[in-house]
Amino acid sequence: MQQHKFDTVIVGTGPGGEGAAMKLAKAGQRVAVVERYVRVGGGCTHWGTIPSKALRAGVQRLHRFASDPILSRMCSGSGIGFVDLMQATTAVIQDQSNLRQTFYDRNRVTIIEGHASFLTPRTLLITGPDGVQQVVEAENIILAVGSRPWRPPEVDFGHPRVRDADTILTMDFNPRTMIVYGAGVIGCEYTSIFRALQVKVDLVNTRDKLLAFLDDEIIDALAYHLRDQGVVIRHDEEADRIETRDDGVILHLKSGKRIKADVLLYAMGRTGNTAGLDLEKAGVEYDAGRGRVPVGPSFQTNVPHIYAVGDVVGWPSLASAAYDQGRFAATHILDNGADYALVEDIPTGIFTSPEISSVGRTERELTQAKVPYEVGRAQFRHLARGQITGETVGMLKLLFHRETREILGIHCFGAAASEIIHIGQAIMAQKGPANSLDYFVHTTFNYPTMAEAYRVAALNGINRLF
Ligand SMILES: Cc1cc2nc3c(=O)[nH]c(=O)nc-3n(C[C@H](O)[C@H](O)[C@H](O)COP(=O)(O)OP(=O)(O)OC[C@H]3O[C@@H](n4cnc5c(N)ncnc54)[C@H](O)[C@@H]3O)c2cc1C
């Protein structure tokens, strides 16, 4: 059996693995990445962020056409549905994967195709797709193995009408009705996508509100707009059983209700890809239930030379965060354990309709912490740019300390919310008095733009002070 030695071996080529690999390779380390999928890019590129966002972009284009009085004539009766749009996303996935491959090639990172499992704390057994095995040894190992949809054993995921976030992408029919079971970020995003395709969606939530980690006003706005679009939201419901038939699926709820649809999307959370890694052989502790690997602030596991980054460590389970965590772990290796910390205020981008983004604390959190804050709001319908583009649904809300004017939280919904948030994030990240609402009052922005929302919201907030 072949045996190779590297400074660092990384398992997984999603954003976590890529961030780590590039940082280490550019610093001159001998780096290998192990990937069991046939192409690089990770779940992010092949089953998660990229396909869902490319699909959403296609749906939005179709929606814009269909709602335009002239252009709608071109697509009326075209019958374009999920299957056609999904085919169009394939090109984006390929482009992304090809691009990422060039990063590895250019930086001379060795890519080993196969499934990795531990033999000892410093050696991994790689089993290739042809069954051929090799051993790699490294000073440091970074686990960037990602996550997959959680699948309880009693649900028949082999049935074509029961899907999860991975298998929904290969659905080969256009449903007319759909049940989304689980109203987390993925459930809400797919609800918006399918509703925009005129699919009748029942969104079944096991909790009493949508996305409870968001600011209450944003949660209310999301629920209002989803309902306004025709989505039926059912809060505080739990599945009793899922009955599959040739012509559909019936969700039996513990409350006694029954819902029938062409397809059910099961979106009840995710589990880390730790199965088959043989973590026990390396002495790495993990939570077998949800497959998560606990890490300290430097992303080291309980075995100091083995790091874990990205979805496998749990919150926030975002591609954006995974990439930074990978780079951070790599920096920790290169600087021999230097004591840095990643920024805590990372933005949330939720690509529902309306789009949502926020950074910092919510009103609920500030009230609980007894922080004397004030609120400044700008409605998109009052902005010239919003009126010109017709993107009038939305709001920007700034939460700031009423004495120091320090920005404490930014919450936004509406078109391009996930872009708009970054303007405020840049100011909020400044130290001391540089983080101030006054920046938005004293700075000239381009006009007409959505950035103007910051000036409007800041003035609105300042007018509340006395
Ligand atoms: C539908 C959906 C939409 C999303 N939308 C967004 C979004 O808009 N914005 C955002 O920031 N995040 C989004 N996410 C989350 C984002 O995709 C993940 O947070 C991100 O992919 C995590 O990156 P990662 O590097 O940890 O793992 P992944 O990207 O999952 O990559 C892990 C890789 O490791 C490989 N692997 C696993 N085990 C082994 C092994 N034993 N041996 C060899 N290889 C192995 C896998 O094949 C995979 O390629 C979304 C997720 C989903 C499912």
pLDDT in tens, 119-149: 999 999 999 999 999 999 999 999 999 999 9
Atom of ligand 1 nearest to the CA of 321: 11
User: Is there a single domain that holds both residue 51 and residue 92?
Assistant: yes
pLDDT of residue 395: 98
User: Is there a single domain that holds both residue 229 and residue 284?
Assistant: no
Question: Is the pLDDT reported for residue 337 higher than 80?
Answer: no
pLDDT of residue 76: 64
User: Is there a single domain that holds both residue 23 and residue 134?
Assistant: yes
- Amino acid in the structure at residue 47: W
User: Is there a single domain that holds both residue 384 and residue 457?
Assistant: yes
CA of 76 to the centre of ligand 1 (A): 37
Question: For 312-336, how does the pLDDT look when each residue is reduced to its tens digit (9 = 90+)?
Answer: 999 999 999 999 999 999 999 999 7
Is residue 348 included in any domain, yes or no?
A: no
Question: For 3-62, how does the pLDDT look when each residue is reduced to its tens digit (9 = 90+)?
Answer: 899 999 999 999 999 999 999 999 999 999 999 999 999 999 999 999 999 999 999 988
User: Is there a single domain that holds both residue 103 and residue 8?
Assistant: yes
Question: Is the pLDDT reported for residue 173 higher than 70?
Answer: yes
Task: Give me the number of domains the chain comprises.
Answer: 3
User: Is there a single domain that holds both residue 414 and residue 449?
Assistant: yes
User: Is there a single domain that holds both residue 397 and residue 453?
Assistant: yes
User: Is there a single domain that holds both residue 16 and residue 135?
Assistant: yes
pLDDT of residue 209: 96
Q: What is the CATH number of the domain that holds 279?
A: 3.50.50.60
User: Is there a single domain that holds both residue 173 and residue 83?
Assistant: no
pLDDT of residue 402: 97
Residues at CB less than 6 angstroms from ligand 1: 11-17, 34-37, 42-44, 48-49, 52-53, 115-116, 144-146, 165, 186, 273, 276-277, 310-311, 317-320, 322, 349, 351
pLDDT of residue 79: 76
User: Is there a single domain that holds both residue 278 and residue 141?
Assistant: yes
CA of 56 to the centre of ligand 1 (A): 18
Is residue 372 included in any domain, yes or no?
A: yes
User: Is there a single domain that holds both residue 263 and residue 304?
Assistant: no
Question: For 74-100, how does the pLDDT look when each residue is reduced to its tens digit (9 = 90+)?
Answer: 666 667 888 889 988 999 999 999 999
CA of 93 to the centre of ligand 1 (A): 14
pLDDT of residue 344: 77
pLDDT of residue 70: 78
CA of 14 to the centre of ligand 1 (A): 6
pLDDT of residue 343: 74
Task: For residue 431, give its domain range.
Answer: 354-462
Atom of ligand 1 nearest to the CA of 317: 19
pLDDT of residue 339: 61
CA of 273 to the centre of ligand 1 (A): 10
pTM: 0.95
User: Is there a single domain that holds both residue 209 and residue 230?
Assistant: yes
Buried b (16+ CB within 10 A) or exposed e, 337-358: eeeeeeeeeebbbbbbbbbbbb
Q: What is the CATH number of the domain that holds 368?
A: 3.30.390.30
